[in-house]
């Protein structure tokens, strides 16, 4: 005969009370596993309310013992399940602690070099590894179409967590029909016609950068100037006006704010529930870099609405000022997109430019070869801002591609969640709810995809692949050359690829051509160039290291 549980508890001896507490803890584990609640109040009810209620019902009323038994049982249930053959990802190898808790990988990621760490894990365990209780990393290019293509996985909830679960999802966090509907506004803003309109803006700031470098008499951190350059460009293109960092420096601390958001975002992406607590603290008035930077973006958007359109900037399209759609958009959506443009369009391009110049300066022969090509297409006195030759310059584009291959913008790839019911990608079955990513850094450094000189800066691989150069002319046997074009996805892949990739390429080509036409650039005396790659840091996107250079105008002599 069944007895009402609370009444029965008082009738059972202590060992039965222990079983009841343990059973309740296992029940809480099941709730978390099935529903993954992220709201702090739900957490409080389950993790505090449950043992508190049980301690009231059980005799003797030992609150501390009840909590101890509850959490010990909960921890044991979680650990045993995640390590057991019953776990859906049990077949995939990985470090023991990573399987138990996302906290372990988060700890490693916050050191700033998860890209190198995961590469080592792939070399040890194979092409698919478990880096979290429900997360895998994949080093197999054959999984790219199935995961990122038109019928691929939706974006992971980690993207929403990075933005602290905003009321309006940013474009980068959307998938499927919602993404297609939101992206049409961006597509107009980055059409070939729009890019043509942006050329003058990009040229203006690149010219300003050249002027700043011409005034430098001592060594300068080229990466910092590239950061100011791209921040000015994307602000001007997004809102019709830039903060003029190239002229004034980071006087308002904006770049520092942008950088300061990254560590927290890394934690949020690995442990999405933590972001909800951060959001709650912000609602209570706590300040942080993310909140301050978002306030900056909101202010810029409001100013842009008040001043109107000075020219056809990105906001012109995002706010439907071109009248292409019958129905406009809510202002919060437009503001959200404007903030995303700054976040995605400045830091990334600056980092690639810095990495590219590091590789060129580390390989003087490649530097001179590229400079000779620029001199050929843009002789002295001819403007390197004219984009007519940029896309057809083989060495320029090979050098950019090689920098993107060696140091991808997103080393860890785009996080996706396997749909309900699971799905096969490449040769791997991923159960529903599994978070997965193609690890771009490992894919790009895999000799099965790129050889020879897999981990070296060798632009010739792109010239050989395009037919502009024969392997024998590059000093290698044809059989030794491996180039898997499908493994190279610097701007992601599929319908959610980077919408601003053409603008980024325009900025990089224009900057490289102008600077190398005008200057001879070299490492500053005393700069430890060997430390550059060791000082690269990844917090979702790759962050450049300090790059100290010395610059001499070419009409003043050769360095």
- pLDDT, one tens digit per residue, over 222-232 is 999 999 999 99
DSSP 360-387: HHH-HHHHHHHHHHHHHHS-TTS-TT-T
Q: Which residues are annotated as a binding site for heme?
A: 498
Locate the domains of the chain by residue range: 5-83, 172-449+484-556
Report the SS3 class of residue 134: coil
CATH of 172-449+484-556, one of 3.30.1490.20, 1.10.630.10, 1.10.10.10, 2.150.10.10: 1.10.630.10
Alpha carbon distance 400, 491 (integer Å) = 13
Q: Which residues are annotated as a binding site?
A: 498
User: What pLDDT score does 17 carry?
Assistant: 81
User: What pLDDT score does 197 carry?
Assistant: 93
Beta carbons within 8 Å of 281's beta carbon, 6+ residues apart: none
**Which residues face 542 on adjacent strands?**
538
Alpha carbon distance 450, 139 (integer Å) = 13
Count how many residues are written for the chain: 559
Q: Strand 416-417 to strand 435-438: parallel, antiparallel, or no bridges (unpaired)?
A: antiparallel
- pLDDT-above-90 percentage for the chain: 68
- Band of the pLDDT at 1, cuts 50, 70, 90? very low
Q: What is the mean pLDDT of residues 394-420?
A: 97
Alpha carbon distance 241, 189 (integer Å) = 16
Mean pLDDT of the chain: 90
Of residues 339 and 397, which shows the higher confidence score? 397
The pair of structure tokens assigned to 260 is 């300061």
User: What pLDDT score does 3 carry?
Assistant: 40
User: What pLDDT score does 284 carry?
Assistant: 64
- Band of the pLDDT at 23, cuts 50, 70, 90? very high
The pair of structure tokens assigned to 150 is 């038109």
Q: Is the model's pLDDT at 277 over the cut of 80?
A: yes
Q: pTM for this one?
A: 0.92
């Amino acid at each position: 005969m069944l007895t009402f549980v609370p009444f029965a508890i008082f009738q059972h001896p202590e060992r039965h009370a222990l079983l009841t507490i343990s059973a309740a803890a296992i029940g809480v584990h099941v709730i978390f596993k099935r529903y993954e609640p992220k709201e702090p109040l739900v957490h409080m009810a389950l993790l505090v309310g449950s043992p508190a209620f049980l301690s009231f019902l059980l005799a003797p009323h030992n609150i501390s013992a009840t909590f101890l038994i509850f959490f010990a049982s909960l921890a044991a249930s979680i650990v045993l399940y995640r390590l057991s053959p019953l776990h859906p990802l049990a077949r995939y190898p990985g470090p023991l602690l990573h399987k138990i808790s996302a906290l372990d990988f988060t700890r490693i990621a916050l050191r700033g070099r998860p890209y190198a760490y995961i590469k080592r894990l792939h070399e040890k365990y194979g092409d698919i590894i478990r880096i979290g209780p429900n997360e895998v990393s994949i080093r197999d290019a054959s999984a790219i179409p199935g995961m990122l293509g038109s019928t691929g996985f939706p974006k992971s909830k980690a993207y929403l967590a990075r933005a602290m679960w905003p009321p309006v999802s940013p474009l980068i966090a959307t998938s499927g029909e919602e993404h297609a509907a939101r992206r049409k506004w961006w597509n107009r803003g980055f059409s070939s016609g729009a890019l043509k309109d942006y050329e003058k803006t990009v040229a203006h700031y690149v010219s300003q950068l050249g002027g700043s470098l011409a005034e430098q008499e001592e060594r300068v951190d080229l990466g910092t100037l590239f950061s100011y350059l791209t921040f000015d460009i994307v602000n001007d293109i997004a809102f019709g006006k830039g903060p003029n960092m190239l002229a004034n420096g980071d006087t308002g601390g904006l770049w520092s704010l942008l950088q300061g958001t990254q560590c927290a975002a890394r934690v949020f992406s690995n442990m999405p529930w933590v972001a909800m607590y951060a959001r709650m603290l912000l609602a209570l008035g706590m300040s942080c870099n993310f909140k301050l930077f978002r306030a900056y973006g909101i202010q810029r958007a409001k100013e842009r609405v008040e001043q109107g359109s000075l020219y056809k900037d990105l906001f012109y399209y995002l706010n439907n000022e071109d009248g292409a759609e019958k129905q406009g958009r809510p202002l919060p959506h437009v503001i959200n997109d404007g903030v995303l443009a700054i976040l995605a369009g400045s830091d990334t391009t600056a980092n690639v430019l810095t990495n590219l110049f590091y590789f060129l300066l580390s390989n003087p022969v490649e530097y001179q070869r590229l400079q000779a090509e620029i001199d050929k297409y843009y002789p002295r006195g001819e403007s390197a801002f004219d984009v007519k030759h940029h896309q057809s310059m083989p060495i320029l584009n090979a050098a950019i591609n090689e920098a993107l291959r060696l140091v991808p913008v997103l080393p860890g790839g785009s996080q996706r969640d396997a749909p309900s019911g699971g799905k096969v990608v490449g040769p791997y079955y991923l159960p529903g709810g599994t978070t997965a990513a193609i690890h771009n850094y490992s894919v790009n450094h895999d000799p099965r995809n790129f050889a020879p000189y897999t981990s070296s800066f060798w632009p010739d691989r792109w010239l050989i692949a395009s037919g502009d150069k024969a392997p024998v002319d590059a000093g290698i046997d044809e059989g030794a050359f491996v180039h898997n074009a499908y493994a190279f996805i610097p701007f992601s892949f599929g319908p959610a690829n980077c919408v601003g990739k053409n603008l980024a390429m325009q900025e990089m080509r224009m900057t490289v051509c102008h600077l190398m036409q005008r200057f001879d650039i070299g490492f500053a005396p005393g700069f430890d160039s060997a430390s550059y790659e060791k000082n690269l840091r990844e917090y979702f996107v790759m962050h450049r290291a300090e790059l100290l250079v010395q610059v001499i105008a070419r009409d003043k002599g050769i360095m």
